[in-house]
Structure 1
Amino acid sequence: MHALKLGHDEVHGLDIEVSFTITEVNKRELADLDQELFDKLFGEGAVKSVSEVRAKIKEDAEKQFVQQADQKLLNDVTEHLVENTKFDLPAEFLTKWMQTAGEKEMDADQAKEEYEKSEKSLRYQLIEGKLIEANNVQVTMDDIKNHAREMIKGQMAQFGQMNPSDKELDDIAARVLSNQEEARRISEQLVSQKLLSVYKEKANLKVKELSYENFVKEVYGDK
């Protein structure tokens, strides 16, 4: 009862008249399937008929499935590499290093627990470094800028801005990449994408065709 400035318990038993003024009523209506709607959804002239709209929606949905399948493959390969690439880590040294390396010092038990949680990640970082070197995987600043531009363009499209200018994209990308954490995140994402291409080219992969329901189970598990 914020309008009356009273608490929940205080309004019980009140016998008063309250007047409300309705200033606006909104309702949703189905849009006409015309060129004006198509241009708003997909950009001017991108599609010109209902059949092209259906094809565009199908194409976009397929892209999402490809992205999800690629992420599943990347996760599976990463797990396989960590589990099957055997080498020793200097566990004692790393555990002691963790005691003092962070902002807050740890005791021996805390450092041991932290090492056990981080061991797989540490192993994969070393494996990944070798794979990057062996396959000459490189990410340039132009790669990062172009990825940032495409990411921004996609986000703007979600809000109906289908055709931003190059200058607008460059300016926003520059602001995004001025954040070192964001630039590092994009760089790591691009490295993963390039390693995924290496895995697809060189790994002995098996293609599995699935129904939609089984695909969801495979990617997300039984939920």
Structure 2
Amino acid sequence: MATISREQIAPLHERIKVTVSPSDYNPAYESALKKYVKNANIPGFRKGMVPTGVVKKMYGAAVFTEEVLRNIENELMQYLQTENIAYLGQPLPEDNNDPAQINHAEPKDYTFSFELGLKPNFTIPDIGKAKTTLNVVDATTEMVNEEVDRLCQRLGKLTEPASVTNEEDILNVSFQKSDAKGVVEEGVEKKENSLLLKYFSAATQKELMGKKKDEQIVLQIGKAFEEKERDWLAKDLGLDKDNKDDLKQHFVMQITKIGFVEKRSLDEAFFKEAIPAKEITTEEAFRDEIKTQIEGYWKHQAQHMLEHEIFHLLSEETKMEFPEDFLKKWLLKSGEKEQSPEAIEKDFPNFLNQLRWTLVSNEIGTQQSLQVSREEIMDSLRQQLMGYFGSMNLGGNMDWLESYVERMMGDKQQVESAYQRVFSSKVLAWAASQAKPTEKKLTAEEFQKLSEKHQH
């Protein structure tokens, strides 16, 4: 029977020595030799009739070494399981372990040592006593009006006016760098864009009024656009929005197409197209449904932000120690891709944060018996695909979608990733249900700024 001993290297960092004797590994060695004898194809001998001595001479050393090491590993893992030892990563063979010492011609006791990192004990904070906030955004009349207007616009009829007449006109334009007089050097690239007239400054809107297709003006990005639109347009044109000289650059802007969307009337046909799942016949009922949808959206966003806050609470406030030297060594030796000690050191704080969350979430999952079903994994993959193709009309391609999900279920990495998404979502949902947050009213703009801050 194997002899196993433990000694502490540092807190949560131990050395385990496993000693096996001939009586531990010889039965497996003899069994392995018999299999070789039975299956060996050696010239001059019929299959299965090769003498044991010949097989032992040809393969004995390798088989002996393999069976001794296998026996040591089995004894170690059985010991960890029997003693219910909770550990991090995997046991690491120490550098002084030398398989070359194993000699099949001289069966004896062999001792190999391993380093082991132990899981820390920790207490999960009482979420009900923690200070948390539920940021609430009320659905205002203005929000409802904006959404109704957006739907009327999106489902409206696109026309092509002869000239620019309305701030809602859609201008397809091209930009070319020029001088102040609109002279463009030969070979200067044209950059296409599509802009609403209302994106331009008041002075530029006035200048564009009455212009027709193929007409052009000379402008400076810094003066011609409202600030919000100026920033993203500058980026599209390869300019630095914070560089004053870039914003003074002149461009020739030519109108290549003029469009205008005739908004839909608020009638039953529109209600049916905008919200096909509901039987809506009046404007009042339509606006009530829009308000309900907006309230649902902001409720979901508030819950998501609360869960984000709780994630940081659990990740950062759950105190635990780690066997850091062991973990760095384990990352260096056992990583899927080779990393330098410098790279491991640089990323180590992030690794510890992820490890802390893994331990906390697994503990909550165990305590609350949280399970993830195959159907939940498939639904997560389905939602992931719908996110990729959300802007496309899949129409009758739902069969294709289901077929693709089934293929993804055969990808271990995809399944594990989906499992973790669903499991973490369940952990955070449970944790949020234990919180007693203080409700705080915010405007949509305030909520958005806070959300951007949370996303770092």
The verdict on a shared fold, with TM-score over 0.5 as the criterion, is yes
Say whether the 8 Å CA contact 1:35–1:48 is kept in structure 2: yes
> 1:120 is matched with which residue?
353
Say whether residues 1:172 and 2:404 are aligned partners.
no
- What is the distance in 2 between the residues matched to 1:26 and 1:198? 50
In the TM superposition, residue 75 of structure 1 has moved relative to its aligned partner by: 1.7
Give the 3 Å change call, closer, same or farther, for CA 174–89 of structure 1 in structure 2. Answer: farther
Distance 1:111 1:221, change over 3 A: closer
Amino acid at match of 1:131: I
Task: Write the distance in 1 (CA, Å) between the matches of 2:453 and 2:446.
Answer: 9
Query: Alignment length, in residue pairs?
Result: 204
Which residue of 167, 186, 189 maps to 1:10?
186
1:69 to 287, 297, 302: 302
Q: CA deviation at 1:140?
A: 0.4
CA gap 1:49/1:217 in 2 versus in 1, 3 angstroms: same
Q: Per-residue deviation at 1:198?
A: 1.4
Q: Report the RMSD for the aligned CA atoms in angstroms.
A: 3.7
Aligned counterparts of 1:220 and 1:122: Cα–Cα separation in 2: 25
1:22-50 Cα distance to aligned partner (Å, 9 max, x none): xx874311112222222222216543322
Are 2:429 and 1:197 equivalent residues in the alignment?
yes
Aligned to 1:17: none
- 1:153–1:169 CA contact under 8 A, matched in 2: no
Which of the two has greater helix per residue? Answer: 1
TM-score, normalization: structure 1?
A: 0.72
- C-alpha change, 1:186 and 1:61, in structure 2 (3 Å) is farther
Q: Deviations 1:109-129 (Å, cap 9, x if unpaired)?
A: 221112122211111111111
- Matched with 2:77 is none
Deviation at 1:105?
2.7
Q: Which residue of structure 2 lines up, in the alignment, with residue 206 of structure 1? A: 437
Q: Return the alpha-carbon distance in structure 2 between the equivalents of residues 45 and 86 of structure 1.
A: 50
Name the residue aligned to 2:339: 105
Tell me the CA shift for residue 11 of structure 1.
6.4
Matching residue within 348, 363, 383 for 1:130: 363
Q: 1:145 deviation in Å?
A: 3.3
Q: Is 1:86 matched up with 2:319? A: yes
1:187 CA displacement? 3.0
* 8 A Cα contact 2:307 2:432, kept in partner: no
2:283 corresponding residue in structure 1: 50
Which sections of structure 1, spanning at least 5 residues, go unmatched? 2-7, 13-19
Question: What TM-score, normalized to structure 2?
Answer: 0.38
> Partners of 2:186 and 2:282 in 1: how far apart?
59
Higher Rg: 2
Identity among equivalent positions (%) equals 18
1:172 is aligned with what amino acid? Answer: L
Distance in 2 (CA, whole Å) between partners of 1:43 and 1:80 is: 42
**Alignment partner of 1:9: what SS?**
coil
